[in-house]
Amino acid sequence: MITIIAGTNRKNSNTQKVATYYQRQLDAKGYGSEILSLVDLPDNFLISDLYGARSEAFKPMQDRISATTKFIFIIPEYNGSFPGVLKTFIDGCLFPDSFVGKKAALVGISSGKYGNIRGVEHFTGVCHYLQLHTLPLRINIPYISQELNEELSFYKEDTLRFTNQQIEEFIRF
């Protein structure tokens, strides 16, 4: 199973839009996927689901993570890195069942000109620690609000080429 993780809990984010784009592209290629949005984390996640505690509200998310064999992480830039809620989510998941030995593709996005290069690098270190195998081709999309059209699809030639290349390589990965 492929799970696309929208790596922020910000509602109506560009991260969610990019996750939806990746899902549509995978569907068009005959590969089903599900989006797991951190918007859907339980309100009391910090109290109820860390350090060995488990709530019924988090159980469906954990079950989906445990069943996933491949992940696509859509990672927005927050303060020169990745969102703290994404790290907290990773910390809340069971170890080693959730990520060890599985595969992931990383997509950085930002409103600025670097496409979250630094945040994707930071998150790659977390993936390595978790023994989560990462696709070497990482995508960084700058100026994200200028990249999506009204249909919430990428339309610039370079972005289409690179995202399609990443998706094709991820399918073979």
Q: Look at residue 6 and give its three-state secondary structure.
A: strand
- Residue 16's pLDDT is what? 96
Would you place residue 46 in the very low, low, confident or very high pLDDT band (cuts 50, 70, 90)?
confident
Angle, nearest 10°, between helix axes 14-28 and 157-172?
A: 60
Which residue has tokens 């068009």?
28
**CATH code, 2-172:** 3.40.50.360
Region 73-77: mean pLDDT is 98
pLDDT exceeds 90 at position 43: no
Structure tokens at 57: 């509200």
Q: Please say whether the beta carbons of 8 and 85 come within 8 A.
A: yes
- 141-152 burial: b if 16+ Cβ within 10 Å, else e: bbebeebbeeee
Spans of all domains in the chain: 2-172
pLDDT exceeds 80 at position 52: no
Q: Please say whether the beta carbons of 31 and 62 come within 8 A.
A: no
pLDDT exceeds 90 at position 48: no
The model's pTM: 0.96
Class of residue 158 by CB neighbours under 10 A (exposed 0-12, middle 13-18, buried 19+)? exposed
Amino acid at 168: E
Class of residue 127 by CB neighbours under 10 A (exposed 0-12, middle 13-18, buried 19+)? buried
**DSSP state letters, 73-125:** EEEE-BTTB--HHHHHHHHHS-TTTTTTT-EEEEEEE-SSTTTTHHHHHHHHH
